[in-house]
Structure 1
Amino acid sequence: MFLQGLSEKVNSFDAKDKFSLLEINIELLEPSSNNFYGIREIDELSESIKEQGLLHNLVVREKEGKYEILSGERRYHALKKLGVKKVPCKVQRNLSDIDSEVLLIEANARTRELTPSEFMRGISRLEEIYKDKKSNGEQIEGKTREAIGKVLGKSGTQVGRYQKINKKLSEDLKEDLDKDKLTVTQAEIISNLKPQEQKEIAKQIKNLDPKESKEEISILIEGIKQPVEKKRDKELLKEIYPEPKPKDKKHKTTKFAFENKEQLQTIQELCEDMVRTLKSMLPKKGQKWTEFDHEVKGQYDAFDLMRITLRDYGYSDGLVFEMPLIDSEED
């Protein structure tokens, strides 16, 4: 029997007494009303459980005489389809409604292949949750974007990319992203365009031959990529290197400290991205250099230096990093 052996874990408790392992009547299990993720491929999952067994327990919490499913709703539907009466579950204790919802979002993000829209909806909900937590006086370690990244298993930079797409990309193009007609990178580039320009791109994508769509879209994106990236680079530079105060303009370097290892990792990833982007913007061999190209080269050198230095330093408590100011001028 594919559930054989799991009954031995019934009524066992972990050392911290935060959860128990129980076999629960399937009729007592209820999907969470907070679960907005799609329930897909149940037939395939049923066959997998039938052949290999249930590899992971459901995660639930007791609620009003029943058990709310926090992780494993697809498994629940698959087991029900197989006619299973008792289901091995990890019963979480002393979880608030908010913490239960965070656990549900985390479990789906880490164990399932989500559509970009589902992933972005999870980010939006976590933003709301952390905003409420802060307004209630609860301390959140680091920036909200980094806290969300920890829950989802992503860096703060990756979370920021999805936030930008969710905020600026048209609904038609979000559908194309979910249908794998666009990559996340392409979607981020397009999100910089005006609504009317995005509408035109969505129309072009719709009219493409499905067999040639990916290649055609890549050509289309390359046509808008460079001007968009130039604008994005300037925005990123302003975010990382704020304009120095007048009294600091005579200095050619600036100092800042990393609060934690995650912040360091975020900056490292951003440096890697910027180095790649700026390098791709430089003129090819034999091409004439413009004033703007020399500016890009200066930015490239600065980010490359920062990337190498961060790699060599690593992280230690209270690490203070000194970095040349870009475009700084003598008084």
Structure 2
Amino acid sequence: MKERANIQLTSYDDIFGGAKADEAKAPEGDVVVEIPLGELHAFEGHPFKVKDDEDMAKTVESIQEFGVLQPAIVRPDGDGYEILSGHRRHHACEIAGLETIPCIVRDLDDDAATILMVDSNLQREEILPSERAWAFKMKLDAIKHQGNRVDLTSGQVGPKLDSRRSNAIVAEEAGESVKQVQRYIRLTNLCPELMDMVDDKRIAFNPAVELSFLNPTQQKDLLEAMEYSQAFPSLSQAQRIKVLALDNKITQEGMNIILSEEKKQDVDRVTFKNDVLKKYFPKSYTPKQMEDTIIKLLEQWQKKQRNRDNCL
């Protein structure tokens, strides 16, 4: 077991200061070393996704022009080094054709490493609900475990953190309420398919929390019911399904009926089935991307209509 370290994180601006374009800055006392990309690997269970999207393209372009301005933070292990902060920069360096990346090496135990990994990544502007949910859960588990640990330097048993206190620490440091942290963590009970729908904004956050109380079999039935009805549950529908599910009084047929009900907001809505829309979009498009594209095309059509009417 590695020696436990105390961590006090601030913002990246505070940590790294105003890094010049030709050098990577590190906190006072830390040494920046160049480590081959092949010796680095992702933190086990890392919940934050690394995507080849527009932001990644901008990161690659910046690295090609200025280099890596912020060192990654890593810890040594038996297979090289585990990345705690800098997964996206590591991937961008690979795309840019670099062989090494500047890193700060810290010898941390599992709990301290988890807390650092979560806190540093939660500073990102765009975070998916699944990323936040798993990050909160990992940090909460690490804090609870630290409360049960024996301090290896003094041999004394530290004060045990109860669940309420641990939740309060996670919430305070994340700028969230304890209840909201608990609601995010509930999402980790969703199956991957439902979690993806939450990330894609096909299922809203509040209904998703209600659906997280369904067991795996009930969630599978829900997926089939959504396919049957070509609809996603509203908050009221999710609440009704949850109540029936907790009493084991819901079936897939019952879910079909609930999801097939006409929602108030759908009375004047024109809907298209996924199979119809997918024929006109790239396979990689999410429902949100398809919706945004359709709205943009309709706005262009509306503008042309107005111009034509003005000419008449």
Residue 180 of structure 1, aligned match among 196, 201, 211: 201
For the structure 1 residues 164 and 77, does the alpha-carbon distance in structure 2 shift closer, same or farther, using more than 3 Å as the test? closer
> SS in structure 2 opposite 1:111?
coil
Q: Supply the distance in 1 between the matched residues of 2:146 and 2:113 (Cα, whole angstroms).
A: 14
Deviations 1:65-112 (A, max 9, x none): 9543211122112112212244333x2545333211221122233326
* 2:210–2:239 contact (8 Å) kept in structure 1: no
1:36 maps to 46
Residue type of the partner of 2:73? V
Matched, 1:80 2:94: yes
Tell me the secondary structure at the aligned position of residue 34 of structure 2: strand
CA distance in 1, matches of 2:218, 2:38: 51
Report the alpha carbon displacement of residue 24 of structure 1 after superposing the two structures with TM.
0.7
Q: Which runs of 5+ in 2 are unaligned?
A: 1-18, 150-156, 245-312
Flag the 1:70–1:228 CA change in 2: closer, same or farther, 3 A: same
How many residue pairs align between the two structures?
213
Aligned-pair distance for 1:156?
1.6
After the TM superposition, which segments of 4 or more aligned residues of structure 1 sit over 6 Å from their partners? 193-197, 225-231
Instruction: Report if aligned partners of 1:58, 1:88 keep a CA contact under 8 Å in 2.
Output: yes
**In structure 2, C-alpha distance between the alignment counterparts of 1:157 and 1:104, rounded to whole Å:** 23
Instruction: List runs of 5+ in structure 1 lacking aligned partners.
Output: 210-215, 232-331
Do residues 135 (structure 1) and 156 (structure 2) align? no
Q: Determine the C-alpha separation between the residues in 2 that align with 1:8 and 1:226.
A: 51
| Alpha carbons of structure 1 residues 145 and 176: separation in structure 2 relative to 1, 3 Å | same
Q: TM-score, normalised by structure 2?
A: 0.53
Q: Deviations over 1:110-146 (max 9, x none)?
A: 3264443333333333333233222224344961112
- Of 162, 181, 186 in structure 2, the residue corresponding to residue 159 of structure 1 is 181
Distance 1:181 1:145, change over 3 A: same
User: Structure 1 residues 197 and 57 mapped into 2: Cα distance closer, same or farther (>3 Å)?
Assistant: same
1:118 to 128, 131, 139: 131
Change over 3 Å in CA distance of 1:88–1:158 after alignment to 2: same
Partner SS for 1:7: coil
1:264-275 to 2 correspondence within 5 Å?
none
Listed as ranges, the matches of 1:171-250 within 5 Å are: 172-191=193-212, 201-207=222-228, 217=232, 220-221=233-234, 223-224=236-237
1:34 to 1:130, Cα distance in 2 relative to 1, 3 A: same
Q: Contact 2:191–2:219 at 8 Å: present in 1 too?
A: yes
Distance change >3 Å, CA 56–CA 224, structure 1 → 2? same
2-side partners of 1:171 and 1:115: how far apart? 14
**Structure 2: how far apart are the matches of 1:229 and 1:207?**
19
Quick one: structure 1 residues 29 and 153, their matched pair in 2 at CA, closer, same or farther if it must change by over 3 Å? farther
Return the alpha-carbon distance in structure 2 between the equivalents of residues 197 and 111 of structure 1.
34
CA shift, 1:25, in A, is 3.6
Distance 1:95 1:182, change over 3 A: same
Secondary structure at the residue paired with 2:187? helix
Residue 101 of structure 1 aligns with an amino acid whose one-letter code is T
Q: Matched residues, percent identical?
A: 23
Q: Tell me how large the CA RMSD over aligned residues is.
A: 3.9
| Partner Cα distance (1:171, 1:164) in 2 | 13
Tell me, in whole angstroms, the C-alpha distance in 2 between the residues paired with 1:208 and 1:227.
Answer: 16
In structure 2, which of residues 11, 23, 45 is the aligned counterpart of residue 7 of structure 1? 23
Distance 1:93 1:197 in 2: 44
8 Å contact from structure 2 (residues 112, 142) kept in 1: no
